[in-house]
Amino acid sequence: MKRKELLLRSSLWMQEAENSPVVMSSRIRLARNLENVPFPHSLSAERSEQVARIIAQVLDSVDVEGDRLTYLPLTELSPIELQVLIEKHLISADLANAKRERGVALTHDHRVAIMVNEEDHLRMQVLLPGDQLREAYRLADSLDDGIEERLDFAYREAQGYLTACPTNVGTGMRASVMVHLPALVMTNQVQHLLGTLTHLGLAVRGLYGEGSQALGHLFQVSNQITLGKSEEDIIAHLEAVTGQIVGMELQARENLLQQARLVLEDKVWRARGMLQNARLLSSADAMLYLSQDRLGTDLGILPKSGQTFAELLVDSNQGCLQYKLNRELDSQQRDEQRANQIRAAFAAANGR
Amino acid sequence: MKRKELLLRSSLWMQEAENSPVVMSSRIRLARNLENVPFPHSLSAERSEQVARIIAQVLDSVDVEGDRLTYLPLTELSPIELQVLIEKHLISADLANAKRERGVALTHDHRVAIMVNEEDHLRMQVLLPGDQLREAYRLADSLDDGIEERLDFAYREAQGYLTACPTNVGTGMRASVMVHLPALVMTNQVQHLLGTLTHLGLAVRGLYGEGSQALGHLFQVSNQITLGKSEEDIIAHLEAVTGQIVGMELQARENLLQQARLVLEDKVWRARGMLQNARLLSSADAMLYLSQDRLGTDLGILPKSGQTFAELLVDSNQGCLQYKLNRELDSQQRDEQRANQIRAAFAAANGR
């Protein structure tokens, strides 16, 4: 598979999962480090190359339930390609910006993405559509076992897996779900809800990190504690809280339908009208309208469009836009291309 | 013709005139009073009935170029019917609110509307689509002659026609054009332009009077002076100024196309998207989007809708909405019906 094809294809997590109108995706990330090798930030250039080479060789031969990994050394990628990987949630901005030898190994459907020489030697991510934390963990665990057969991970009986940052010591696991909460945002309940989550040992971030909470009405909820809890505990806790969040969002939607159906219908139809007609769409406008449109589609008010909410959101980011068109775009050109692309996706969905 | 049919039908002035993208309509109004009869505000109830009856009898038999007038005594009309007549520019709010016996005589296409016992005994209006001041005057003058054959108008050699308010003495004529100036509004030039008009002896008002200037980007420009000038002078002056306004608006449109085509296209397509998709439309929103949509249609950016700008504007007023549906509507119901009606009108115009 050519690199451009691999990067541009729709990631598995972007598919709409059946019966999961609120939980968009589920993610498990395991941090692992090689025994007797300094953490990446302490490695010399030469040593980081050596470490990346060793790991890449192992990853090249790992079987992921019949699928293979493709290893991409980041030094070979253009800034726009790095941007695309970040926008698709396949690498972190930290990995993109690091100077040392580093890379990412991907399955063709992006459900597995393993960062090499990020903060830790390996960060294995499994990212699935919908509410599938346990399936994601099952796959991550099996992947972890397969790799551990070939690499010696730093592990201490008392502490568990060693990691560069103490917040990851123990299981080395971060579990997270991405939830779509438009009705809780519309009814001004979301800030209070999210505030309470931090008291439960959970972190909340926006679609693209801390500063982007409102964008697309999407929120990532993840565990903050990795030490002294089993993987099972972490997942059970996050699942329970997620279940409550889902319940609140669905209740808020029901309340809107009961108490303000026409206002709600007006809002989602107007969003559809903007997506089908605008000739310039800023990123913030696009995310707002796409979110409202997905709410309308979920509630059966709007006909479905040709692409999923996540695909439309991700593809309208500037990296993806420019990579697809194969040229640099200034701000207005991006707004124009974003509008064109979204309009094309909605042209099939009859807006009347 | 039944009264409801007569009131609801599309007025001639609401048709789009060929080659007149800026001047929406042209209007001539002549104020006339009966000799030796006090002005209407001084008439007793009994006397006002008598005056109205005399005038109505004459109007009933007047020929308007092959068409006849239908006289409607306002005391027979419901408040909503009065509202409809105001919204269609066929009577003034003052006439609707007056307590004395009063009426209006209409041709079937509304191009002639003669108010009886408004401020003056007769106010004859000719209202035509597009830039047709001279044709409107020709028709008003011929109508005036026809009526003057049967009624004795108060006229003094030195002053001209006598009127209740001194500002109308002389010709008793008010000439006005309704201009659509969206590009001058968008480019913030309209306030300065309109300010200069008052120095030229012209008055500027919005679509429905002084307080409504911004609505629909429509402005009525009329002469303020009636005394000491001939009808020809008044019309020539207004025509010259109108020509300049038209030139400025067209130039502003051209500049927008040259310098900000994409921003302009985005704006008019978004307006179309709102009109085709909204489920609730306030009157102000409707007028804004309809105005932007007409600009887009005039510039060939948008396909035409099934109804004209003026029809859509007038029909979405609350009187017309309620009269057509034959029931009272609260504020949200009006917004809903307005959105439904406008959506239906645009359903035929393909928005893609």
Q: Is B265 on the interface with A (CB under 8 A)?
A: yes
- Read off the pLDDT of each residue in A152-169 and give the average, rounded to a whole number: 91
Of B263, B277, B280, the CB nearest to A272: B277
Name the band, by pLDDT with cuts 50, 70 and 90, for residue B352. very low
Query: How far from B272 is each of B207, B312, B330, CA to CA, in Å?
Result: 22, 13, 26
Instruction: Kindly report, residue by residue over B117-126, the tens digit of the pLDDT.
Output: 999 999 999 9
**Predicted pLDDT at B348:** 67
3-state secondary structure of B174: strand
Contact: B266, A273; criterion CB under 8 Å: no
Of B266, B280, B347, the CB nearest to A266: B280
Min Cα separation B279/chain A (Å)? 4
Residues of chain B neighbouring A269 (CB-CB closer than 8 A): 277-279
**Predicted pLDDT at A350:** 54
| Measured distance CA(B137)–CA(B125) in Å, rounded | 10
Min Cα separation A343/chain B (Å)? 9
Instruction: Kindly report, residue by residue over B129-181, the tens digit of the pLDDT.
Output: 999 999 999 999 999 999 999 999 999 998 899 999 988 888 999 999 999 99
**Predicted pLDDT at A352:** 40
| Measured distance CA(A71)–CA(A89) in Å, rounded | 16
Average the pLDDT over each of A39-43, A58-62, B227-231, B320-324 and give the range with the smallest value: B227-231
Residues of chain B neighbouring A270 (CB-CB closer than 8 A): 273-274, 277-278
Query: How far from A304 is each of B155, B278, B343, CA to CA, in Å?
Result: 71, 18, 20
Among B269, B332, B334, B338, the residue to mutate for chain A (most A Cβ within 10 A): B269
Name the band, by pLDDT with cuts 50, 70 and 90, for residue A1. low
Instruction: Kindly report, residue by residue over A18-37, the tens digit of the pLDDT.
Output: 889 999 999 999 999 999 99
Nearest to A155 by CA among A27, A30, A28, A29: A30
Q: Give the other-Cβ count within 10 Å of B329's Cβ.
A: 15
Q: Is B259 on the interface with A (CB under 8 A)?
A: no
Q: Which residue of A has its CA nearest to B348?
A: A352
Res B350 pLDDT > 70: no
| Measured distance CA(A256)–CA(B130) in Å, rounded | 46
Q: At what angle are helices B283-298 and B231-277 packed, to 10 degrees? A: 100
Q: For chain A, what are the domain ranges?
A: 3-251, 261-349
Residues of chain A neighbouring B351 (CB-CB closer than 8 A): 276-277, 351
List, in order, residues 6 or more apart from B302 with CB less than 8 Å away: B268, B269, B272, B293, B296, B349
**Predicted pLDDT at A226:** 72
Comparing B80 with A191, the larger pLDDT belongs to B80
Query: How far from A265 is each of A67, A273, A310, A313, CA to CA, in Å?
Result: 43, 12, 22, 22
Res A345 pLDDT > 90: yes
- Read off the pLDDT of each residue in B235-251 and give the average, rounded to a whole number: 96
- Mean per-residue pLDDT over chain B, rounded: 93
H/E element holding B64? strand B63-64
Comparing A15 with B201, the larger pLDDT belongs to A15
Q: Is B352 on the interface with A (CB under 8 A)?
A: yes
Contact: B263, A277; criterion CB under 8 Å: no
- Read off the pLDDT of each residue in B322-333 and give the average, rounded to a whole number: 94
Residues of chain B neighbouring A339 (CB-CB closer than 8 A): 266
Comparing B348 with A20, the larger pLDDT belongs to A20
Radius of gyration from C-alpha coordinates of chain B: 21
Res B252 pLDDT > 50: yes
The pTM score is: 0.91
| Measured distance CA(B310)–CA(B314) in Å, rounded | 6
Name the band, by pLDDT with cuts 50, 70 and 90, for residue A263. very high
Inter-chain CB pairs, A–B, below 8 Å: 59
Q: Which residue of A has its CA nearest to B282?
A: A266
Nearest to A311 by CA among A30, A101, A89: A89
Res A68 pLDDT > 60: yes
Res B33 pLDDT > 50: yes
Q: Which residue of B has its CA nearest to A343?
A: B352
Min Cα separation A262/chain B (Å)? 7
Contact: A273, B277; criterion CB under 8 Å: yes
Nearest to A295 by CA among A276, A269, A259, A275: A269
Contact: A277, B351; criterion CB under 8 Å: yes
Q: Is B75 on the interface with A (CB under 8 A)?
A: no
Tokens of A187: 């009814």
Contact: A270, B278; criterion CB under 8 Å: yes
What distance lies between CA B86 and its chain's CA centroid?
Answer: 9
| Measured distance CA(A150)–CA(A56) in Å, rounded | 12
Contact (Cβ atoms closer than 8 angstroms) between residue B172 and residue B163:
yes
Res B318 pLDDT > 60: yes
Contact (Cβ atoms closer than 8 angstroms) between residue A104 and residue A90:
yes
- Domain A3-251 fold is Creatine Kinase; Chain A, domain 2 (3.30.590)
Q: What angle do CA A59, A62, A63 make, to 5 degrees?
A: 145
- Percent of chain A scoring above 70 in pLDDT: 96
Tokens of B238: 């207004």
Q: How would you write chain A as a 3-class SS string? A: CCHHHHHHCCCHHHCCCCCCCCEEEEEEEEEECECCCCCHHHCCHHHHHHHHHHHHHHHHCCEECCEECEEEEHHHCCHHHHHHHHHCCCCCHHHHHCCCCCEEEECCCCCEEEEECCCCCEEEEEEEECCCHHHHHHHHHHHHHHHHCCCCECEECCCEECCCCHHHCECCEEEEEEEECHHHHHCCCHHHHHHHHHHCCEEEEECCEHHHCCHHHEEEEEECCCCCCCHHHHHHHHHHHHHHHHHHHHHHHHHHHHHHHHHHHHHHHHHHHHHHHCCCCCHHHHHHHHHHHHHHHHCCCCCCCCCCHHHHHHHCCHHHHHHHHCCCCCHHHHHHHHHHHHHHHHHCCCCC
Min Cα separation B29/chain A (Å)? 42
- Read off the pLDDT of each residue in B262-290 and give the average, rounded to a whole number: 97
Amino acid identity at A265: E
